[in-house]
Amino acid sequence: MKLDEFIAENGTVITKKAGDHLFRQGEHDQSIYKVKSGLLKAYYLSADGKENIKSFIMPGDNIGSLVSAWAGKASTFSLVCLKPSIVSAVPFRKLNEASRADPGIAGEILDFLLAFGMKKEMREYELLCLTAEERYKRLRDTSPEIFTLVTQNEIARYLGITPVGLSRIKKRLAD
């Protein structure tokens, strides 16, 4: 658990209320966050003001804008607390330096990135190959907890459809 130690030593503990942002789309943010408690969501805001939810982030999860932290560009998404949350933030630069110096940390970061990559692959698969209805069934079967934590509105935006659309799907399945 060298990585956790490193974050404990070098990270800043941040306490946020529901509705508070850690960063917003378009801003630069060089931190990687580890969630200690609470619930967050990462979302895109499209040109016409529509919200699309990238992911929900739960205690134990890591999150940060790779594009911003690594490539130094503006973040493509926003990160906001859905519930009061405590996270620890560590500058990506420090993490990167540490990984170059300490093989143990490098290994864990590697594992983390591989897990991250696999998760993204899964999401890509779902968005590319499955219908909205199939994505809904999958979410219901694999992450039922999420339905008790967020509104249906947000589930819909995560599935890539509107709340109205989701309501219809549920109705259709109830027959």
For position 152 contacting DNA by CB under 7 A, the verdict is: yes
Q: Which does 124 bind (CB under 5 to 8 A by kind): a copy of itself, DNA, none?
A: a copy of itself
Which positions ≥6 away from 127 have C-beta within 8 Å? 135, 160
Long-range contacts of 101-105 (CB under 8 A, 24+ apart): 102/2, 102/6, 104/2, 105/2, 105/3, 105/6
The CA angle 19-117-52, to the nearest 5 degrees, is: 35
How many angstroms separate the CA atoms of 29 and 106, rounded? 22
Rounded to the nearest whole angstrom, what is the least distance from the CB of residue 17 to a copy of itself in the complex?
27
Amino acid at the residue 86:
I
Q: Which does 120 bind (CB under 5 to 8 A by kind): DNA, a copy of itself, none?
A: a copy of itself
For position 93 contacting a copy of itself by CB under 8 A, the verdict is: no
83/112 with CB nearer a copy of itself: 112
Task: Return the residue of 132, 139, 146, 149 that touches DNA, per CB under 7 A.
Answer: 132
For position 126 contacting DNA by CB under 7 A, the verdict is: no
Catalog residues that contact DNA under the rule CB under 7 A: 50, 131-133, 151-153, 160-171
